[in-house]
């Protein structure tokens, strides 16, 4: 039997006759100059009189952004990478005109020298199951293209063959959980919204992807907006709403544009508006643009922001399902959650559940970034081990460095060390390990990343984004940040660790909304898994990664020290002491970081943190 993924992928192989070029227009590729490649390509085709026969279409994120800008030439499906405008002439001359694959523009594995012609051959794609991303990078984001691949067929089925209750039942059966972070069962949320009394109801698509390091919602809205619209219309039908809103961050202008274009296209086809498909259901969608506030990802804050005021969160209950936008029942679902809906309705809950694990069905899109060879959006069944993501798909850590940690869930999540490489990536396993799924940001860190500094980085973020309404969050994040700054500057005390822990508990238990309740996670998880790094900062005034510049003091590497005493003799601050037979010691309180001891030591037994691999890779 073929899996759902194989079936969907097979549908998307274009017919033999279709000659066209799909160019990645995802944001990372745009930032690497794909627009200039597109212009050059169009010019080249035009001057060869091929403009009509070989259209160039922009698609959403193709993936493996580390090799961008990229494009795929159909019908063969040959994928070219790292393109510069001057490559356009070669592609047109050799591939399009002479029908010869341009070998030097294919991706070549630097270790095995293997060249890859098609996506399916590459390790980056082989372990992926691209259900939510089914159209991203393969199908241009327009309605006529979307409909070629059974687009809006799920909507037609829901409206024509199913009652709202049956739709809700199907979603409940699928076991789909909210992809925005919390993992609340989607079907249950729909049921609660349907049951709530109200003269009208709203469906809000939460596209306020504020987690730094996550960009799947943006890429879905840009690369496949119709799957989100279709999900929203079905949700509207199921809960009894007639108005939908897509709340998008203003930092994502292209996602705003694409959503608006898609809405206009869907209205024209009568998938939106009055009497949809002449089946008696009315529903329309508007786009609302956020103005930059992380807390607006929180449901209650998002609602006040849509109402045009400060995005202050409120207490729950009442839940938005009962009393949401303008006091009316409101269903809030994340972009990725909604993009799953058409699949579930079209293929049925049972087939959806074939993927993932019990209680964690389906797939999850992760935004793989940081210190990993291949970066970009990757989609895998829930429960896939972290190792598969980092090594099989991501290709491991560049520059021969060691994996140190994976950060999941952004500022609300945590850092998992090497011993967690085999953790199944699902909601429950991540929560148990002290992190969380969050929206799916996955930042890989190597030995050059200081975990104390990362905790400080996140607290700096949450402290700045705290709305200030409740005291534990407003004051607590500030105090925690001060302590972390103290430690990274070499002025920490051992009692600070206990203070951090106490404050963390206070925030977790005392804050009103999810921002404050999860703000301590980066601190708690690094304290749990990387306590020795905190202690190195405090006790030895030493930053093992060499990131905290205030701590760039030398340290004696005990295993290399032969206790010759040369260092103690040159030290102008008399900070080095020791005796024969035991390693010498530097007193951090006296050391002035002049580094003379490093120069003097004949055994290379003195070093500053991270100096062995100077910051070459930061570039």
User: Residues interacting with other proteins, by CB under 8 A?
Assistant: 27-32, 65-66, 68, 209-215, 218-219, 250-253, 288-294, 305-311, 326, 367-371, 375-377, 407, 410, 441, 443, 445, 449, 454, 457-458, 467, 615, 618-619
Closest CB 186 distance from other proteins, rounded Å: 24
Nearer to other proteins, 4 or 306 (CB): 306
Question: 495-510 and 471-488 are packed helices; what angle lies between their axes, rounded to 10 degrees?
Answer: 160
164 or 441, CB closer to other proteins? 441
Cβ-based nearer residue to other proteins, 175 or 210:
210
HSE-up of residue 340 (Cα within 13 Å, Cβ side): 30
Contact 94, 100 (CB under 8 A): yes
CB 482 within 8 A of CB 406: no
* 133 phi/psi in degrees, rounded to 5: -90, 20
| Residue 317 preceded by cis peptide, ω within 30 | yes
> Shortest approach of other proteins to residue 7 CB, angstroms?
28
Tell how strand 202-207 and strand 243-248 pair up: parallel
Nearer to other proteins by Cβ, of 9 and 303: the residue is 303
The CB-of-261 to other proteins minimum distance in angstroms stands at 18
Of 342 and 409, which CB lies nearer to other proteins in the complex structure? 409
How far apart are CB 445 and other proteins at their closest, in Å? 6
Least CB distance from residue 351 to other proteins, whole Å? 31
The residue among 343 and 393 lying less far from other proteins, judged by its C-beta, is 393
> How many CB atoms sit inside 10 A of residue 476's CB?
26
Residue 243 CA to chain centroid, in angstroms? Answer: 29
> In the beta sheet, which residues pair with residue 379?
365
Residues 61 and 24: beta-carbon distance below 8 Å: yes
Of the pair 9, 256, the CB lying nearest other proteins is at 256
CB of 46 to other proteins, least distance (A): 25
Residue among 304, 285, 297, 296 nearest 203 (CA): 285
User: Among the residues of 240-348, which ranges form H helices?
Assistant: 253-268, 299-306, 335-347
Cα–Cα distance measured from residue 10 to residue 380, given in angstroms and rounded to the nearest whole number: 18
Q: Which is nearer to other proteins, 207 or 231 (CB)?
A: 207
Q: What are phi and psi of 611, to 5 degrees?
A: -70, -30
**CA 398, 403, 408, 414 torsion-angle sign:** negative
Query: Please, what is the minimum distance in Å from the beta carbon of residue 125 to other proteins?
Result: 15
Closest distance between other proteins and the C-beta of residue 210, in Å?
7
DSSP states of 176-221:
-B-TTTT--BHHHHHHHHHHS--SS-EEEEEE---STT--HHHHHH
**Quick one: 377 or 556, whose CB is closer to other proteins?**
377
CB atoms within 10 A of CB 274: 12
Closest approach of Cβ 249 to other proteins, in Å? 8
**Nearest to other proteins of 2, 309 (CB atom):** 309
User: Shortest approach of other proteins to residue 27 CB, angstroms?
Assistant: 5
Q: Rounded to the nearest whole angstrom, what is the least distance from the CB of residue 91 to other proteins in the complex?
A: 22
342/376 with CB nearer other proteins: 376
Three-class SS state of 166: helix
- Residue 6 burial class via C-beta count within 10 angstroms: exposed 0-12, middle 13-18, buried 19 and up: exposed
Could you give the 3-state DSSP secondary structure of residue 57? strand
Cα(223)–Cα(225) distance, integer angstroms: 6
Answer for the pair 437, 414: CB distance below 8 angstroms, yes or no.
no
């Amino acid at each position: 039997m073929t899996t759902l993924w194989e079936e969907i992928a097979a549908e998307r192989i274009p017919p033999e006759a279709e000659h066209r070029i799909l160019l990645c227009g995802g944001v990372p590729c745009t930032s690497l100059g794909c627009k200039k490649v597109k212009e050059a390509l169009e010019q080249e085709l035009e001057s060869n009189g091929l403009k009509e026969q070989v259209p160039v279409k922009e698609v959403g994120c193709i993936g493996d952004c580390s090799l961008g800008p990229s494009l795929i030439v159909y019908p063969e499906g040959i994928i070219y990478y790292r393109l510069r405008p001057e490559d356009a002439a070669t592609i047109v001359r050799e591939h399009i005109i002479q029908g010869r694959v341009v070998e030097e523009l294919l991706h070549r594995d630097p270790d095995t020298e293997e060249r890859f012609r098609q996506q399916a051959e590459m390790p980056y794609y082989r372990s992926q199951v691209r259900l939510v991303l089914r159209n991203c990078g393969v199908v241009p984001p327009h309605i006529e293209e979307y409909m070629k691949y059974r687009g809006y067929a799920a909507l037609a089925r829901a409206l024509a063959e199913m009652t709202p209750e049956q739709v809700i039942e199907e979603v409940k059966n699928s076991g789909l959980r909210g992809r925005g972070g919390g993992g609340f069962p989607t079907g249950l949320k729909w049921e609660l919204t349907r049951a709530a009394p109200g003269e009208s109801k709203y469906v809000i698509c939460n596209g306020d992807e504020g987690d730094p390091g996550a960009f799947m919602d943006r890429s879905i809205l840009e690369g496949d907006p119709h799957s989100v619209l279709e999900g929203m219309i079905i949700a509207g039908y199921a809960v009894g709403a007639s108005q939908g809103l897509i709340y998008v961050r203003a930092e994502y202008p292209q996602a705003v544009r694409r959503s608006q274009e898609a809405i206009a296209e869907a209205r024209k086809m009568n998938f939106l508006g009055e009497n949809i498909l002449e089946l008696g259901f009315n529903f329309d969608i508007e786009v609302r643009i956020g103005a930059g506030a992380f807390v607006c990802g929180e449901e209650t804050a998002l609602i006040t922001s849509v109402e045009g005021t400060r995005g202050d969160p409120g207490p729950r209950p009442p839940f938005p399902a009962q009393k949401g936008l303008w006091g009316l029942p409101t269903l809030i679902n994340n972009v990725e959650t909604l993009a799953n809906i058409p699949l579930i309705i079209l293929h049925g809950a049972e087939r959806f559940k074939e993927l993932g694990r019990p209680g964690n069905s389906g797939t999850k899109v992760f935004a793989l970034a940081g210190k990993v060879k291949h970066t970009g959006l990757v989609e895998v069944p829930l429960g896939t081990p972290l190792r598969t993501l980092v090594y099989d798909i991501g290709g491991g850590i560049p520059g021969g460095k060691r994996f140190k940690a994976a950060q999941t869930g952004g500022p609300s999540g945590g850092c998992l060390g090497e011993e967690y490489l085999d953790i199944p990536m699902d909601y429950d396993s991540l929560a148990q390990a002290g992190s969380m799924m969050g929206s799916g940001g996955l930042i890989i860190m190597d030995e050059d990343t200081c975990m104390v500094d990362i905790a400080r980085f996140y607290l700096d973020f949450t402290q700045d984004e705290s709305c200030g309404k409740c005291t534990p969050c407003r004051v607590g994040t500030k105090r925690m940040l001060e302590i972390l700054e103290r430690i990274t500057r070499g002025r920490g005390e051992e009692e600070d660790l206990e203070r951090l822990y106490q404050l963390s508990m206070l925030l977790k238990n005392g804050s009103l909304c999810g921002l404050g309740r999860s703000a301590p996670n980066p601190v708690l998880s690094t304290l749990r898994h990387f306590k020795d790094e905190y202690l190195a900062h405090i006790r030895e005034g030493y930053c093992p990664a060499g990131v905290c510049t205030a701590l760039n003091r030398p340290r004696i590497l005990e295993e290399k020290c032969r206790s010759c005493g040369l260092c103690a003799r040159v030290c102008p601050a008399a900070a080095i002491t020791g005796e024969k037979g035991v390693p010498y010691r530097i007193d951090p309180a006296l050391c002035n970081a002049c580094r003379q001891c490093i120069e003097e030591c004949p055994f290379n037994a003195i070093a500053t943190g991270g100096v062995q691999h100077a910051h070459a890779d930061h570039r």
